[in-house]
Chains A and B, each alone.
Chain A
Amino acid sequence: MDNWTFGFTMVIVGMGGTLVVLSLFAILMVILKKIFPASKHKVSE
Chain B
Amino acid sequence: MFNSILNGLSGLGAGFVNMHWANPVMIIVGCILLYLGIKKDVEPLLLVPIGFGAILVNIPLSGLMEEGGFLKTIYDMGVSNEIFPLLIFIGIGAMTDFGPLLENPKIFLLGAAGQFGMFLTIGLALFFGFSKLDAVAIGVIGACDGPTAIYVTSKYAPHLLGAVSVAAYSYMALVPVIQPPIMRLLTTEKERVITMDSKTQPVSKTAKIIFPILVTVIGGLIAPKGLPLLGTIMLGNLMKESGVVSRLAKASENEIANVVTLLLGISIGATMNGELFLKPQTLLILAFGFVAICLDTVCGVLFGKLMNVVTGGKVNPLIGAAGISAYPMAARVVQREGLKYNRFNFLLMHAAGANTGGQVGSVIATAIMLSILHGMGIIS
Contacts and interface: CB of A to CB of B under 8 A. Distances in A.
A38 B203 CA distance: 5
Contacts of A43: 202
Interface in A1-45: 1, 3-4, 6-11, 13-15, 17-19, 21-30, 32-33, 35-39, 42-43
Interface string B94-110: 00000001100110110
Taking chain B's interface residues, is the majority helix, strand, or loop, or is none over half, making it mixed?
helix
Contacts of A8: 123
Contact of A7 (B112, B113, B118, B123): B123
Interface stretch (B30-38, B162-170, B362-370): B362-370
A21 B223 contact: yes
B325 interface: no
A43 to B, nearest CB: 4
B122 interface: yes
Interface string B203-217: 111110011001100
A21 B366 CA distance: 12
Nearest to B219: A21
Contacts of B112: 18-19, 21-23
A11 B111 contact: no
Most buried by B among A11, A13, A29: A29
A23 B109 contact: yes
Most buried by B among A6, A8, A10, A17: A10
A27 B109 CA distance: 11
A38 B209 CA distance: 13
B65 interface: no
Nearest to B210: A32
A3 B377 CA distance: 14
Interface of A: 1, 3-4, 6-11, 13-15, 17-19, 21-30, 32-33, 35-39, 42-43
Given A22-B360, A33-B204, 4 more contacts: A3-B126, A11-B119, A14-B122, A42-B202
7 contacts: A11-B120, A17-B368, A18-B116, A19-B109, A21-B368, A32-B211, A33-B207
